[in-house]
């Protein structure tokens, strides 16, 4: 489609308004050059991405698959305020390298960022919405870290990470041994952790709940304070019926000194 990104964006907005009003069982046919009305999507944003990247399929002037007769619209109904200056975001403002950022599929990340900013602008009917847009624009201009010479920005870098996560969430087959959590990953990278003991204590520092004399007590024998917290949102525990795991009112962390000294002096250079 001739006319540049702005005219194509205008056409996409007009088309999606018509298509949204004439969804078929919650889905919309995608008329891009690749799908050619053979694929349906529930998210209009996906179709918007396809159209802006691939353009409309040839000779699809009458939107018969999208109920064109259902909504009569003219081009002048699209207000200029709802169409951002897409050129401002096509190269990521402030990118000193002059290179476009691409995702794992080779698509220009600027398309996604421009769509995000457009959606935010269309929702700015209230002061709260305007504040959110200002915050998004601020993140778009904020360098990823002080003195970032590559021109990376906070917003576009975050978007890249989200795209990578969505693309690679199922990169490995089932049964793989890659840790699923950060905690598990740290245990693999650093398995030689030093011992630490957590000992429940009286909230008023009267006693430690350890040893045969105190370890099984429910309350401090000195001040009568319970060793655990009472959850007021748990009626069963208030009535004396334990329904959740008890949380200690106070915990003392004890780091045994002998294992630490042993590791320290294992290296002859520290002796």
Nearest Cα residue to 12 out of 64, 102, 73? 73
With H, G, I as helix, E, B as strand and everything else as coil, classify residue 201. Answer: strand
pLDDT at 120: 59
Spatial distance between the Cα atoms of 254 and 263, rounded to a whole number of angstroms: 17
pLDDT at 101 exceeding the cut of 80: no
Average pLDDT over residues 18-23: 78
Q: What share of the chain is helix, strand, coil (3-state, %, to 5)?
A: 45, 10, 50
CB within 8 Å of 169: residues ≥ 6 apart: none
pLDDT at 130: 72
Cα R_g (the chain), whole angstroms: 30
Cα Dmax for the chain? 88
pLDDT at 220: 93
Instruction: Find out whether 34 and 57 touch, Cβ atoms under 8 Å.
Output: no
Q: What percent of the chain has pLDDT over 70?
A: 61
In eight-state DSSP terms, residue 181 is: S
266: which 2 tokens?
Answer: 């294992």
pLDDT at 43: 74
What is the pairing mode between strands 197-200 and 251-254?
A: antiparallel
pLDDT at 82: 41
105: which 2 tokens?
Answer: 């599929």
The pLDDT tens digits for 31-72 are: 888 888 888 887 777 888 888 788 888 777 777 777 655 344
Lowest mean pLDDT among 92-106, 121-135, 244-258: 92-106
Q: What is the pTM of this model?
A: 0.32
pLDDT at 169: 59
The pLDDT tens digits for 87-99 are: 444 333 434 444 4
């Amino acid at each position: 489609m001739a006319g540049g990104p702005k005219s194509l964006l205008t056409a996409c907005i007009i088309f999606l308004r018509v298509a949204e009003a004439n969804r078929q069982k919650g889905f919309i046919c995608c008329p891009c050059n690749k799908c050619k009305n053979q694929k349906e999507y529930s998210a209009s944003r996906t179709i918007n991405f396809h159209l802006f990247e691939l353009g409309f399929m040839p000779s699809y002037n009458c939107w018969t698959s999208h109920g064109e007769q259902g909504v009569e619209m003219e081009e002048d109904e699209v207000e200029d305020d709802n169409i951002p200056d897409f050129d401002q975001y096509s190269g990521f403002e402030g990118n000193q390298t002059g290179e476009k950022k691409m995702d794992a599929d080779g698509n220009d990340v600027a398309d996604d960022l421009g769509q995000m900013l457009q959606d935010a602008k269309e929702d700015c009917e209230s002061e709260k919405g305007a504040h959110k847009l200002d915050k998004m624009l601020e993140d778009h201009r904020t360098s990823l870290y002080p003195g970032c010479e590559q021109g990376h920005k906070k917003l576009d870098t975050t978007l890249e990470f989200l795209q990578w996560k969505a693309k690679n969430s199922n990169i490995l087959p089932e049964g793989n041994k890659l840790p699923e959590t950060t905690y598990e990953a740290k245990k693999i990278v650093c398995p030689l952790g030093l011992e630490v003991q957590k000992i429940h204590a009286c909230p008023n520092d009267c006693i430690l709940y350890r040893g045969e004399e105190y370890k099984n007590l429910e309350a401090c024998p000195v001040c009568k304070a319970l060793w655990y917290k009472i959850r007021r949102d748990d009626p069963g525990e208030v009535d004396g019926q334990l329904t959740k795991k008890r949380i200690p009112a106070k915990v003392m962390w004890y780091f045994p000194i002998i294992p630490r000294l042993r590791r320290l002096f294992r290296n002859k250079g520290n002796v």
